[in-house]
Structure 1
Amino acid sequence: MLLATVACMLPDGLWLKDNDAVKAGLAKYVKKKKLERLDSYVPPLLAARDQLVRIGRVMLQDPAAARQLLRSGVFTGLRDNVRSLGEYASQRAGDESGRALVRGFFTALEAFDGALRQAQRGEEGLPEDARAKLDATVEALDKLLATVPEEDMQRAQRVIDEISRLDEEAAEEAAAAQQQGSGVDAARLQSLLMDVACPPAIVEAIYGQLVQQNAAQRGAFGELVADYSTVLTRARELQVRCAQLDKEASELRLENETLLRAVEDGKHAAVQSAQFAAMEARAQALQDELTAAYKEKAALAEQSLQATRQLQVVRDINERQSRELTDAADEAKRLKEQQIKELQGQVDHFREAHATVSREMEARLAEAQGASAKLAAVEAESAELVRRLIEMKDREADRMNEINRLEAETIARAKQEATAVLARAEARAQALGASLGRQRTSEGAELVEASMRRLSDADEAAEQPSTLLKSVPGHDGGCYGLAFNRTGELLASGGADKCVKLWDPFTAAVKTTLRGAFEGINGVAFTSDSKLVLAADNKQAVRVWDVATGRLRHSLTGHTGKVVGVACSPADPHLAVSCGSERAIKVWGLTDGLHRRSMMCPSICNSLAITTDGSLVASGHFDGTLRFWDLRTGRVAHEVAGLHSPHGGITSVDTGSSGALVLTCGKDNLLRCVDVRRFEVRHTLSAPSFSVGGAWTTACFRCEHWEQQAAAGSADGTVFLWDIAKSTVAARLRDPKQLQPAVACAWCPLGLPLVSCDKAGGIGFWTGRPSKRGGGSSSGTGAVR
């Protein structure tokens, strides 16, 4: 309480002249006198020059106050006044000299303001060249004012002198009032300190705190106190002026009455007419001055009212800012406490999360260790099962070899018996006569031939697909591609479910599911060494998997449309080709997964295959043309035009194991066999009820019989088998439960099984009738490996 009381009684310190008061006085004078355009902006520039000189006196003690003076009062309109004077000087001289002076002044003013700003921020005090920059600014302004005519400059100086006189009177009154107030405050402070017995150290400490508190409070409210002092000074000036005007009005009224009486007396005394006219004019002039005095009094009264209102506004602003400072301090304290609580909560949350993660990691580590142990046990069990399976296969192979040996011996015995019958028939013919002998000989030959045909027909019947071994769901949404590896041990299938599945063709069981495609699969193919399997992906790529590990090895990208077909070279396990809907055939290297060559086609390529020697690519197109491409040059070697109807064209292309024929299937429900040596059609296969079920229906050769049979699926789900040499249907295979169109067929290189797939995703495995001689399955021929 003592500190607050003493701080309130401290003197206000050095009084600085207010720029706003100077600006207000200039504005009032210009408005009152109705000055010309030049006279309206030259006096403010003279006032600004005087203020620059005052700023030079205070900038060493208080750079902040000096910079505040530089940015208020007459300086607020300084730039507009300077530009106006520059335009006037340029027009008067007829060149750009005035505008050049304006630019020089602005440059000097900015440099001086920068020096004050540097000192205000506390950057090593006031620069040493601040005085030189101030002098340069004043010199630039003097050069600009030198362009004003002498007569106009004198008139502007008189305006400034009159305003300065009023300001000096107000300053003297304010100084007297401040001195009086300071004396009272000092007396109160002295009496207060005398009543309190304090040691000198405490007095010095209180004095230091009072000085700091006074500086802080005056720094926050210095401008408000200065504005308040200005308003009070202006109010006092207006009161004095009103009293003066009242006195002048009274004197003018008395003088007017005196002159009126004199006029009346003159009229009665028959004064000369010239004197009377002069007196009447004098009276009129006094009347006009009285009217002007009344108007000025009214204006002063209005200004006094405005000053009172401004004083009230300043008081309201002072109170509002005090409340805002208090509220801001409370809000800052509240926000700080809230932020501390939030940060503490976050720290606790992170600690709990770290503990939870640590526990989970320990649990996962224990699970991983347990899984590793289980995996080792499973691998050991798997190795034992593989060993037992190999032993079982070896036993079955030995048994099959024995069956084949017995079959060969039976055929040999049958041939020997037929030869003996023929010999006996010939002997009897010789005994009975020539004519009768010829008849018996013919009968014996026919008997032998019939026996051989029965043996041959029985062997072929045992190897002909006729029985559905198993029908399994393969792919959701449809299965569109089938392919055997070269040894017949694996079957690959691809469909709309973005997966490629590897099957055991003899048990119809899935061995591996390969994932990595982004969209549906249109076709699959094995490399000649059976180490890689390729799939044509709708997502403009060919996916390559390692058969042994099941991992995706390459993604062959480069097509701009969906990939509809893929084929591998029978002669090179590191070469593959693919075709896309953008009418392009691309050649790929499978070692590095890089693109080797592109071949642009005149029509969309639906399917393709590589010949046995690996030199040609046979491609079937939408326009019904079969084209042969030279892989070495990338050019068309030959083409067979009009092979199928151009409405849909060729749906599939297959090359046999001999490399002599190419099998094509078309939307015109025909299968054609083309001679690769002569590039002409050798056979045409058809059936009344055969109908192609899709744009990519795939037909295939039977490999181990040197292209003697072909198979293709129909729209009603039936699989047709043709005898190529006779161009007739050899068999029709139909699953009663199958209602969807059969899309693709693949014939095992070992002879059986024949595999088909449909648009519903089902896969059917077809095998032959069980053999009556050996009692074994007909899913393989010849010696088993």
Structure 2
Amino acid sequence: MVEESTDYRQFIWQELKERDEHEQQYHVMISSNQHLLKQVNHYRVLAASQKISGNAAHLEQQIQHLKEERADMYKVQSENAQRLVHMNDKLRTLEDLEAQQKKSLVDTLANNKKLADKSTSQTEQLREKDGAIQVLQDELSALQLEITTIEGKNHRLSKENHQLVQRWMEKMNQEADKMNEATEFYETALQRARSQQSPTNSSNRPGSVASTASSSSPSNKDQHKMRVTSIILPDRPYRTLANIHDGDIYCIQASRTGTYFATGSEDRRIKLFDRYSMTSTTLSGSLQSITSLDFNTTDDFLVATSTDYSTRVWNLGTRRLAHTLTGHIGKVFAARFIPADSSRVVTGSHDRTIKVWDLTKGWCTRTIFSFSSCNDLAVLDPDGHTLVSGHLDNTLRLWDTKSGNGIKDLQGLHRGQITSVAVSPDGGSVLTNSRDNTLKWIDIRMYEVLHTFQAPTYQNGINWSRASFSPDGCYVAAGGKDGSIHIWNTRNMQLERVLQGFHKSAVCGVAWHSMGSEMYTADMNAKTVCIWDTSIEKKTQSFVMK
């Protein structure tokens, strides 16, 4: 078995060897051929290298130089491309700027043309207005001359009218005396006739009747004179002035002598009315609304406050603006002349100050600082040493103008801001009006409230509504929110009369003629002034004539 396996292996090995010899018989030739090819290629390469070895260095230098040039060119090209982008952006920006400038130039040229046309038009208008102003100045000169003539005529007529009224009153007194004498004579004759019918009492009755008649005669005369000077409350106005202003009416005031009454309005104008002729004059010069008015004692000057923070004084003789007082930094709501010195004025403002002005110097001589805005003020003595002011914080304050110090603060009088302050005719008391719909009558010497006037129908509808005493001190009048006029009697403290249906909006103020013959009321939105006849003379005259 071992021999057989060995023979088998030898056989396989022999077969493999024969196969290898058969398959690799060309291997040597192929290897030799490949070796020869390698040598040929080697020699070829060597020959080629020897052939170009002379130019190789030069070519490499050129190649290196070209490479460097190519690198420089790439660098320059990159820089040029970047510069081109930058220049394109700059060109685009410049083109946009040029377009904007062209548009602006077109707009400027168009605006210049418009302004030139407007300038030409305004030049023409100015030329026309210069001509109109010249015409108006000529007309004004003629009107002023005519006004001077008319004023002289009115003054003479007023004087004559006053003389006629005095003569008429004297005649009425004489007639009344005659009527009293006739009545006395009639009663005496009647008593004598009765005494003759009853002789038993003839010794006593005639004497007693005569003594009674003689004692009653003087009292009748006194009663008649008292009626002539007393105030009779009216039922309706005897004259109504409608739409006298272009804006709302804010205030109304009567002069001290009774010659004028005036109204101030939102339209920045003052209407000055002559009581006798009922002609009106317009006083202008204010820049904003007129808030209060006051006359001096001789009616030579009128002072008015305004919401433009200033106070102005007009000369009523020339109807021209005499002074403009500036210094407040808030709306000025009250101004009063010092009664004994018309060259001094006191003003109250919402800037919480009260100022005393000297008109001869034209500046403020004293500033009094308060704790609240001043709605109204009044002068308590003729020399103006003591002032009383009503404020937004519901407080009534008294001031010493010499030192500028406060005398007394009356707090808690009202539950709403005080809208007006009025001094009684005797100077011993003050009337305040408030937004709490009450009026307080205050004894200024004892600092006590004498009475509170109020009514279910009375409502104060304006922050500057002015109430007032009648000249005889017997009545207190105030205007309401609904246009009504409430009048209280200071003797019995009762509501005496309510005048309704004549004003259509809130009443801003009530003013009395200095002699008590008329009462003036004004409403705000309806722009109406009502004049009420409160004098007994006309009623007495009409009764006697009947």
TM-score between both structures, scaled by the size of structure 1:
0.50
Contact in 1 for aligned 2:184/2:213 (Cα 8 Å) = no
When residues 541 and 301 of structure 1 are mapped into structure 2, their CA distance, relative to the original with a 3 A threshold, is closer
What amino acid does structure 2 have at the position aligned with 1:771?
Answer: K
Deviation at 1:618, TM superposition (A): 0.7
Q: Secondary structure of 1:726's partner? A: coil
How far is 1:403 from its partner? 0.5
Shift of 1:617: 0.6
Distance in 1 between the 2:184 and 2:340 partners?
A: 45
Equivalent of 1:664 in 432, 450, 453: 432
Q: Which residue number corresponds to residue 537 of structure 1?
A: 306
Shift of 1:424: 8.3
> In percent, how many aligned pairs have the same letter?
23
Q: 1:409 to 1:630 in 2, by over 3 A?
A: same
Q: Classify 1:629/1:390 alpha carbon distance in 2 versus 1 (closer, same or farther; 3 Å).
A: closer
Q: Which residue of 1 aligns with 2:460?
A: 692
SS of residue paired to 2:520: strand
Deviations 1:421-464 (A, max 9, x none): 89889996997289979996897599669856873675367854
3-state SS in 1 of match to 2:461: coil
1:689 match: secondary structure = coil
Matched, 1:625 2:395: yes
Aligned to 2:512: 747
Q: 1:696 to 1:300 in 2, by over 3 A?
A: closer
Indicate how the Cα distance of structure 1 residues 585 and 430 shifts in structure 2: closer, same or farther if over 3 A, else same: farther
What CA distance in whole angstroms lies between the structure 2 residues aligned with 1:419 and 1:618? 53
In structure 1, C-alpha distance between the alignment counterparts of 2:282 and 2:543, rounded to whole Å? 28
Confirm or deny that 1:512 pairs with 2:277.
no
Q: Which moved more, 1:557-566 or 1:431-440?
A: 431-440
Mapping 1:385-464, distance limit 5 Å: 385-413=150-178, 432=201, 451=220, 455=224, 459=228, 464=233
Q: CA deviation at 1:521?
A: 2.1
Partner of 1:41: none
Partners in 1 of 2:311 and 2:145 — Cα distance? 36
* Aligned with 2:334 (options 558, 565, 581): 565
1:717 to 483, 487, 491: 483
Deviations 1:20-77 (A, max 9, x none): xxxxxxxxxxxxxxxxxxxxxxxxxxxxxxxxxxxxxxxxxxxxxxxxxxxxxxxxxx
How far off is 1:520 after superposition? 2.0
The 3-state SS of whatever aligns with 2:317 is: coil
State which drifts further: 720-729 or 295-304: 295-304
Does the CA-based 8 Å contact 1:463-1:751 persist in structure 2? no
The 1:369/1:304 distance shift into structure 2, 3 A limit, reads closer
- Checking the alignment, whether the CA contact within 8 Å between 2:375 and 2:464 is kept in structure 1 is yes
Name the residue aligned to 1:499: 269
**For the residues of structure 1 that align with 2:230 and 2:297, how far apart are their CA atoms?**
30
**AA matched with 2:256:** R
**Shift, 1:565, TM fit:** 2.0
For residues 211 and 440 of structure 2, the distance between their equivalents in structure 1, rounded to whole angstroms, comes to 41
Which residue of structure 1 lines up, in the alignment, with residue 61 of structure 2? Answer: 293
| Mapped contact 1:482–1:746 kept (Cα < 8 A) | yes
Q: Which residue of 2 aligns with 1:641?
A: 411
2:487·2:496 contact (CA, 8 Å) conserved in 1?
Answer: yes
Q: Give CA deviations for 1:665-721 in whole Å, capped at 9, x if unaligned.
A: 223333232233333233443334222222222111222x2x222221122212222
1:771 to 524, 538, 542: 538
**What are the Cα deviations for residues 618-675 of structure 1, in whole angstroms up to 9, with x where unaligned?**
11123433221011111111233332x22x1322101234322222122333323223
Q: Is residue 488–residue 496 contact of structure 2 (8 Å, CA) maintained in 1?
A: yes
What SS is found at the alignment partner of 1:725?
A: coil
Structure 2 CA distance for partners of 1:713 and 1:376, relative to 1, 3 Å? closer
Secondary structure in structure 2 of the residue aligned to 1:722? strand
Write the letter of the residue equivalent to 2:386: L
Letter in 2 for 1:747: W
CA–CA separation in structure 1 for the residues paired with 2:523 and 2:449: 29
Q: SS state of the match for residue 532, structure 2?
A: strand
Identify if the C-alpha distance between structure 1 residues 632 and 421 changes in structure 2 by more than 3 Å, giving closer, same or farther: farther
1:480 pairs with 2:241: no
- The residue that corresponds to 1:780 in the other structure is none
Structure with the larger strand share: 2
Aligned to 1:673: 441
Gaps of 5+ in 1: 1-255, 263-282, 310-341, 778-785
Residue number in structure 2 paired with 1:758: 523
Distance 1:746 1:257 in 2: 140
Contact between 1:720 and 1:733, CA under 8 Å: does it hold in 2?
A: yes
| Greater RCO, 1 or 2 (C-alpha within 8 Å, sep 6+) | 2
Per-residue Cα deviation, 1:527-553 (whole angstroms, up to 9, x for no partner):
334333222222322233333344444
SS of the equivalent of 1:632 reads: coil
Counterpart for residue 103 of structure 1: none
The alpha-carbon deviation at position 763 of structure 1 amounts to 1.5
Question: Is 1:740–1:759's contact at 8 Å kept on the other side of the alignment?
Answer: yes
After the TM superposition, which residues 358-369 of structure 1 pair with which residues of structure 2 at under 5 Å, given as runs?
none
For 2:466, the aligned partner's letter is: T
- Contact 1:640 1:680 (C-alpha < 8 Å) held by counterparts: no
2 CA distance for matches of 1:578 and 1:359? 42
Q: Are the equivalent residues in 1 in contact too, given 2:269–2:282 (CA < 8 A)? A: no
Amino acid at match of 2:496: A
Alpha-carbon offset, residue 762 of structure 1? 1.7
| Equivalence for 1:207 | none
Q: CA deviation at 1:728?
A: 2.5
Give, in angstroms, the shift of residue 757 of structure 1: 0.9
Q: Secondary structure at the match of 1:711?
A: strand
Provide the C-alpha distance between the structure 2 equivalents of 1:503 and 1:364, rounded to a whole number of angstroms.
31
Q: Match of 2:371?
A: 602
Q: How does 1:221-236 map to 2 (within 5 A)?
A: none
Q: Look up the SS of the partner of 1:574 in the other structure.
A: strand
CA distance in 1 between counterparts of 2:464 and 2:219 reads 44
- Distance of 1:597 and 1:365 partners within structure 2: 44
Query: What is the root-mean-square deviation in Å for CA atoms of aligned residues?
Result: 4.7
The 1-side partners of 2:489 and 2:49 are apart by 151
Change (3 A) 1:523 1:393: closer
- Deviation for aligned residue 1:493: 1.4
| Structure 1 residue corresponding to 2:344, chosen from 560, 575, 595 | 575
Distance 1:374 1:506, change over 3 A: closer
Could you say what secondary structure the match of 2:284 adopts?
strand
Letter in 1 for 2:275: P
Q: How far apart are 1:506 and its partner, in Å?
A: 3.9
User: Which residue identity does 2:353 align to in structure 1?
Assistant: A
Q: Report the Cα distance in structure 2 between the residues aligned to 1:746 and 1:508, rounded to whole angstroms.
A: 16
Structure 1 equivalent of residue 474 of structure 2: 708
Would the alpha carbon gap of residues 295 and 434 (structure 1) be closer, same or farther in structure 2, given more than 3 Å must change? farther
Whether contact under 8 Å (2:158, 2:276) holds in the other structure is no
Q: TM-score, normalised by structure 2?
A: 0.69
Query: Following the alignment from structure 1 to structure 2, what is the Cα–Cα distance between the partners of residues 504 and 739?
Result: 25
Could you say which residue in structure 1 is the equivalent of 2:32?
A: none
Partner of 2:381 in structure 1?
A: 612
Deviation, structure 1 residue 751 = 2.1
Relative to structure 1, is the Cα distance of residues 772 and 709 closer, same or farther in structure 2, using a 3 angstrom cutoff?
A: closer
> Using the alignment, how far apart are the partners of 2:398 and 2:62 within structure 1?
118
